[in-house]
Structure 1
Amino acid sequence: MSDRTGEVYRVDWVPGTDLLHGTCHCGREHRAEDPVRMWEWMLAHPQGHRMPEDDS
């Protein structure tokens, strides 16, 4: 997905799993099973880049 600012957000399925691998326009990466949660993480840039599971 790309917006008018030229920022590119990429989400790929990880073969053999139920995981999605997302890459934000800033280069930060994240994995999640839930597509809604993945897009919330990306679109909350930069505040959304720190998710609860990142604390472990």
Structure 2
Amino acid sequence: MTDRVAMLHGDTVFRIHWVLNTDLLLGVCHCGAEHESEDPVELWDWLLAHPEGHEPPAAVDTPSPVLATVGGGR
């Protein structure tokens, strides 16, 4: 028997984690959005209302690399 635990993935996978050393729970949606609460019912309501009430985390807008052209022929 192994100590590994398989993690589920997909468009309908939700997770609720206990935040160590606190009374808080962290709900994580499959889109990456997160919400903290002490009430597990509130977290499940929030998770199951997807996408109403929460959006995925904003993507960091990184500038595209600039392509330099080397001119020659003089």
TM-score range (shorter-chain normalised) is 0.7 to 0.9
- 1:17-55 Cα offsets, whole Å, 9 max, x none, are 1100111011101101100000000000011327xxxxx
Residue 41 in structure 1 maps to residue 42 in structure 2: no
Equivalent pairs counted in the alignment come to 47
Structure exhibiting the larger radius of gyration computed from Cα positions: 2
Long gaps (5+) in structure 1: 51-56
Q: Which runs of structure 2 are paired with 1:1-56 in the superposition (5 Å)?
A: 6-49=11-54
**Greater helix content:** 1
Long gaps (5+) in structure 2: 1-7, 56-74
CA contact (8 A) 1:42 1:48 kept: no
What is the percent sequence identity of the aligned residues? 57
Aligned Cα root-mean-square deviation (Å):
2.0
Q: Helix, strand or coil for the counterpart of 1:48?
A: coil
**Greater strand content:** 1
TM-score by length of 1: 0.72
